[in-house]
Amino acid sequence: MAAVETALKDLMAAIDGTIGVALVDYNSGMALGTIGGGPELDLNVAAAGNTDVVRAKLRAMELLNLNEAIEDILISLSTQYHLIRPLTSRTGKGLFLYLALDRNRANLAMARHQLKKIEADLEV
Q: What is the mean predicted confidence (pLDDT) over 19-48?
A: 92
> How far is the C-alpha of 32 from the C-alpha of 58, rounded, in Å?
21
**pTM confidence score:** 0.90
Which of 106, 110, 71, 95 has its CA nearest to residue 22?
95
Residues 16, 23 contacting (CB under 8 angstroms): no
Residue 70's pLDDT is what?
92
Average of per-residue pLDDT across 70-91: 90
Whether residue 55 contacts residue 79, with contact meaning beta carbons closer than 8 Å, is answered with no
Say yes or no to pLDDT of 6 above 90.
no
Q: What is the pLDDT of residue 5?
A: 85
- Using pLDDT thresholds of 50, 70 and 90, give the confidence band for residue 2: low
Residue 72 has pLDDT above 80, yes or no: yes
Q: How confident is the model at residue 1 (pLDDT cuts 50, 70, 90)?
A: very low
Q: How far apart are CA 63 and CA 45, in angstroms?
A: 28
Q: Any idea which architecture 4-121 has in CATH?
A: 2-Layer Sandwich (3.30)
